[in-house]
Amino acid sequence: MNSHTVVMAIVTAAAGVGWVAPRVVVAQTAGAQGGAAKPGVNPRAEAVNAFGKRLQAYVELRKKAEDGIPVLKETDDPGNISAREKALGEALRKLRATAKEGDIFGKDMTPLVLEIVRADWKKRPAEDRAAIMAEMPKPFVPAVNMRYPVGQPLLTFPPNLLRELHQLPDDLEYRFVGRDLILRDAKANTIVDVIRNARPPVRPS
């Protein structure tokens, strides 16, 4: 008897705040004559998995950068902490000298992030949108490898939106700068990647 069975399941495991990359658990085709199993393709899952790999590659690069910097002994001295932060940022900039926008978010993941961010924005009342944008009245123009400017506020990222986005490794965080969404390395105070105009413009009421 010739029969074909196709089963595919996507499992999403929650961990802390946010969500981890979905993975394809089973996706195979079997026939009466023992045909070879063929993996199923889920573009969304593939994009998330690829994003996770790029994030991990960045983390490994940061470890390499840290290896060349003296270990900071436990201290509360802001001067020492700031000096190490700057040194790590400089080391990363040298290792990522050719980095450009989209290297981490990627063409595959950017549309998914935009979909989530804009859906969240659409649900917010006009007064909430205006208040959010007013928190940084004069946003700077973020760029890859740029040090996050001292004196510029680090806006609190909306918790509900954070839960919808892919969970990031330790010391990496999502932040908004005006309408732009950035990926920031908190350890190095460095902008790792940028998605331009992630938020729609606020129209005057």
Question: What percent of the chain has a predicted confidence (pLDDT) above 90?
Answer: 63
Angle at 92 between CA 161 and CA 87, to 5 degrees: 105
List, for residues 52-87, the tens digit of each pLDDT value: 999 999 999 999 999 988 776 665 566 666 888 999
DSSP one-letter string for 1-56? ---------EE--B-SSSBPPPEE-------TT-PPP-----HHHHHHHHHHHHHH
If you average pLDDT over residues 104-124, what whole number do you get? 97
Backbone angles phi, psi at 105, to 5 degrees: -60, -40
Tally Cβ neighbours within 10 Å of residue 183. 22
Paired strand residues for 184:
173, 191
Q: Between these two residues, 84 and 195, which has the higher pLDDT value?
A: 195
Predicted TM-score (pTM) of this structure: 0.77
User: Which of 68-72, 95-99, 125-129 bottoms out in mean pLDDT, i.e. has the lowest?
Assistant: 68-72
Instruction: Please choose, from the candidates 192, 202, 69, 50, the residue with its C-alpha nearest in 3D space to the C-alpha of residue 112.
Output: 50
